[in-house]
Amino acid sequence: MNRAVSNLRARHVARLGSFCASSSSSSSPASEAWDGRFRLHKPRGQHLLTNPRVLDAIARHAALRPGDAVLEVGPGTGNLTARLLASPAARVSAVEIDPRMVDAVTARASALNLAHKLTVILGDAVETDFPEFDVCVANIPYGISSPLIAKLLFGTYRFRTATLLLQKEFARRLVAKPGDSEYNRLAANVHMVAETRLLMDVSKRDFVPMPRVDSSLVEIRPRVDMPEADLAEWLAFTRECFGQKNKTLGAIFKQKRKILELFKRSHRTKRCADDAPGRGVILGVLDDDNDEACSDDDGNDDNGRSDVVAGFNKEDVGAFKERIANALESTELAGKRPSQLSNDELLRLLRLLNERGVWFQ
């Protein structure tokens, strides 16, 4: 074990002692403290949560009910798993990528005499199909936050809540409201299908080894009353809007390249109204925005013909551009930035654009 980890561990064990003296944390034969039996891999997000009070609080917030099937992602050595197994939940399925951790969490459950409630699946949580679950509770590796939440919310899973420990900044974006500086495509897309709630902040000092970032616990609750919308179309629309979230919608939809791209998409020979978003699309829908510059050059050579633009009839493209401008005008959204708008406002604009033959996917 390297010295940094060893020092951290010594400090942490000392702190755990004082926590245990004053807390009524669930008693478990195996301690939360990390015994250094193998090397933890930071690139795999292997930062174990070792503060029993925080672990208890996460289990409490998850509000597990008798009979619940729980999904945990990245159980590690089982500090949180032990609480989930001791809860009224009927069973816990844990997906873990590291075989050493699989062994550790399995041994932990056996030591607690709760192995019969646990199924450990060795695999990458982004790729592996999950078994059915009612509630997801996890301190996940932060590197997979976006694809994992996208998989949970835009896949085929039906569940009551996901209570996730996430990097603090990411959590702030997830619960941001329109007009907040953190509000972006992630928040808009998640809020389309779920409600989010910040439950508590967790210090980086509660982990071994200590990460560079603080964390926050967030509850994600899928909506029962989803707005009527074609999800794939919505996701493609928000990609266009939030790709340049600091520009006004008027400026975004005036760009020649964008108009031509939308014109092409809108005139595909065969539109499938209920095209479900593909797996690649799903995992990418919550990527962070990049305020990419969009050149106005269409990059096409029309051989000097004045009636053609990028191979299309100039008049048709002009009329298409007009339809977009009119939709923005009639909704009075041309001067607004996407990050200031509620999903209802954005959805109203999308519907109007669709009605006028403007499609985004």
Residues placed in the known binding site for S-adenosyl-L-methionine: 47, 49, 74, 96, 124, 139
Binders in 85-104 for ligand SAH, by CB under 6 A:
95-98, 101
Smallest gap from residue 146 Cβ to ligand SAH (A): 12
Residue with Cβ nearer ligand SAH (84 or 249): 84
What is the rounded CA–CA span in Å between residue 31 and residue 35? 9
Within 105-124, the residues that bind ligand SAH by CB under 6 A are 124
Q: Which of 8, 16, 49, 310 binds ligand SAH (CB under 6 A)?
A: 49
Choosing from 52, 75, 209, 277, the residue that interacts with ligand SAH (CB under 6 A) is 75
Beta bridge partners of 121: 95
Total binding residues for ligand SAH by CB under 6 A?
23
Angle among Cα 194, 199, 201 to the nearest 5 degrees reads 125
Rounded Cα distance between 136 and 124, Å, is: 16
**Contact string 9-48 vs ligand SAH (x = CB under 6 A):** -----------------------------------xxxxx
| Angle separating helix axes 343-355 and 314-330, nearest 10 degrees | 150
Contacts (Cβ under 8 Å, ≥6 apart) of 282: 150, 151, 154, 155
Question: Applying CB under 6 A, which part among 60-68, 137-145, 172-180, 264-272 lies near ligand SAH?
Answer: 137-145
Q: Is 282 exposed, middle or buried (CB count within 10 Å of its CB: 0-12, 13-18, 19+)?
A: buried
User: Residue ranges for the binding site?
Assistant: 47, 49, 74, 96, 124, 139
Least distance from ligand SAH to the Cβ atom of residue 344, Å:
35
Site for ligand SAH in 211-250 (CB under 6 A): none
Burial of 141 (0-12, 13-18, 19+ CB in 10 A): buried
Query: Cβ closer to ligand SAH: 79 or 93?
Result: 79
Judged by CB, which is closer to ligand SAH: 268, or 279?
279
Radius of gyration for the alpha carbons in the chain, expressed in angstroms and rounded: 24
Is 25 strand, coil or helix? coil
Q: How far is the CB of 60 from ligand SAH (least distance, A)?
A: 15
Q: Cα dist. 98→6, 121, 207 in Å?
A: 21, 10, 18
Site for ligand SAH in 322-351 (CB under 6 A): none
Nearest distance in Å: CB 31, ligand SAH: 12
Can you tell me the distance from the alpha carbon of 153 to that of 151, in angstroms, rounded to the nearest whole number?
Answer: 6
Residue 62 beta carbon to ligand SAH: minimum distance, rounded to whole angstroms? 13
Question: Three-state SS for 251?
Answer: helix
Binding ligand SAH (rule: CB under 6 A), the pick from 33, 70, 71, 80 is 80
Question: Which residue in the set 76, 209, 277, 338 belongs to the binding site for ligand SAH (CB under 6 A)?
Answer: 76
Q: b/e per residue, 86-125, with b = 16+ CB within 10 A?
A: bbebebbbbbbbbebbbebbbebbeebebeebbebbeeeb
Residues forming beta bridges with residue 350, ordered by sequence position = none
Residue facing ligand SAH at closest CB distance: 74
CB-wise, 148 or 310, nearer to ligand SAH?
148
Q: Which residues bind ligand SAH (CB under 6 A)?
A: 44-49, 73-76, 79-80, 95-98, 101, 124-126, 139, 141, 144
